[in-house]
């Protein structure tokens, strides 16, 4: 199977001040991501506040991204929902509109009781769009579903014909490496922790999905270029700046803080939906000052101008 190489941005929601969708911002954001050298976008996931949207809204967002991307970027549509029926509806819709792949988290209210049960659930969702690659979205810190992913791959092989791999958002690198190497490397295991990208590259990662790629892709592209060129010290410097940045944004609520950074970079994506709340003016200025202290924006502008390969 073809594996994804490069960075996929887990994009943020785009809302008007009254909380309604602002789809006019989607082409603006997509054009920026194309310019930044992204490989694709992951929409309506955690950072896109998919669980805070209605199914109809999520379908509208997916359509807007497919239309704006014009095949310049791969469009991954997250279709996870506590209702498998609603997930199937969104999966079929993603197929109809020309998305490139679908992904789904485990149910996080009534949780799967075993790996076998998880596989059955994902098979139901994936079968609604049999022509699209399906990626299980493993994010145990939010779903509370932390089952063995090697067992998941083993049991899914026969039951999910369109299984492409896993969007792996967990820090257990030993399991991540085992998934990469399962079956001779037959599945595409996309890494999901931006602040650990270099560690993932060392165990074999080729592709990654992350929220901070939406505003800092040139930094991570430089990191990957340095690693691929054998310059580990340069790659470490780039990763260290990422770690410093993430440490500062996680002093606040992570998604609102990242949307605040987007505004600092010139694209105001609007507020969040409850229970998430936009940063106050004070906290936004505090965050900006912290990023200035580490010369984040200055460095980002330099590497952007250099256009890493």
Which domains are delineated in the chain? Answer: 6-306 (3.20.20.70)
**pLDDT at residue 307 is higher than 80:** no
Please work out, in degrees rounded to the nearest 5, the angle formed at the alpha carbon of residue 20 by the alpha carbons of 288 and 255. 30
Q: Which residues of 67-97 are buried (b: 16+ CB within 10 A; e: fewer)?
A: ebbeeebbbbbbbbbeebebbbbbbbbbbeb
Residue positions annotated with a catalytic role: 137, 167
Q: How many residues does the chain have?
A: 309
pLDDT at 1: 66
3-class DSSP state of 69: helix
**pLDDT at residue 304 is higher than 90:** no
Place of tokens 């779903």: 143
Convert the pLDDT of each residue in 200-249 to its tens digit: 999 999 999 999 999 999 999 999 999 999 999 999 999 999 999 999 99
Convert the pLDDT of each residue in 65-108 to its tens digit: 999 999 999 999 999 999 999 999 999 999 999 999 999 999 99
pLDDT at 2: 80
- DSSP for 227-277, please give it: HHTT-HHHHHHHHHHHHHHHHHHTTS-HHHHHHHHHHHTT-------TT--
Q: What is the DSSP letter of 184?
A: G
Convert the pLDDT of each residue in 25-58 to its tens digit: 999 999 999 999 999 999 999 999 999 999 999 9
Q: How many alpha carbons lie under 13 Å from residue 114 in its C-beta half-sphere?
A: 4
């Amino acid at each position: 199977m073809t594996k994804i190489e490069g960075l996929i941005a887990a994009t943020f929601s785009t809302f008007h001040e009254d909380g309604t969708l602002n789809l006019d911002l989607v082409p603006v954001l997509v054009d920026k991501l194309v310019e930044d050298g992204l490989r694709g976008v992951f929409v309506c996931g955690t950072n896109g506040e998919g669980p805070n949207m209605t199914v109809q809204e999520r379908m509208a967002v997916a359509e807007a991204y497919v239309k704006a991307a014009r095949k310049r970027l791969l469009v991954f549509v997250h279709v996870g929902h506590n209702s498998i029926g609603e997930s199937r509806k969104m999966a079929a819709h993603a197929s109809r509109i020309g998305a490139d792949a679908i992904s789904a988290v485990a149910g996080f209210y009534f949780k799967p009781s075993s790996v076998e049960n998880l596989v059955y659930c994902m098979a139901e969702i994936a079968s609604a769009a049999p022509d699209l690659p399906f990626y299980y979205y493993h994010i145990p810190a939010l779903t509370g579903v932390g089952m063995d992913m090697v067992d998941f791959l083993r049991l899914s092989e026969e039951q999910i014909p369109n299984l492409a791999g896993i969007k792996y958002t967990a820090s257990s690198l030993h399991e991540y490496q085992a998934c990469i190497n399962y079956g001779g490397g037959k599945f595409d295991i996309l890494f999901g922790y931006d602040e650990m990208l270099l560690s993932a590259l060392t165990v074999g990662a080729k592709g990654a999905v992350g929220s901070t790629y939406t505003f800092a892709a040139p930094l991570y592209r430089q990191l990957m270029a340095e690693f691929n060129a054998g310059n580990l010290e340069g790659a470490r410097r780039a990763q260290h700046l990422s770690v410093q940045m993430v440490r500062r944004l996680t002093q606040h609520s992570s998604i609102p803080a990242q949307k605040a950074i987007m505004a600092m970079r010139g694209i105001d994506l609007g507020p969040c939906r409850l229970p998430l709340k936009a940063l106050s003016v004070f906290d936004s200025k505090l965050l900006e000052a912290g990023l200035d202290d580490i010369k984040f924006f200055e460095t980002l502008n330099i590497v952007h101008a250099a256009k890493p390969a």
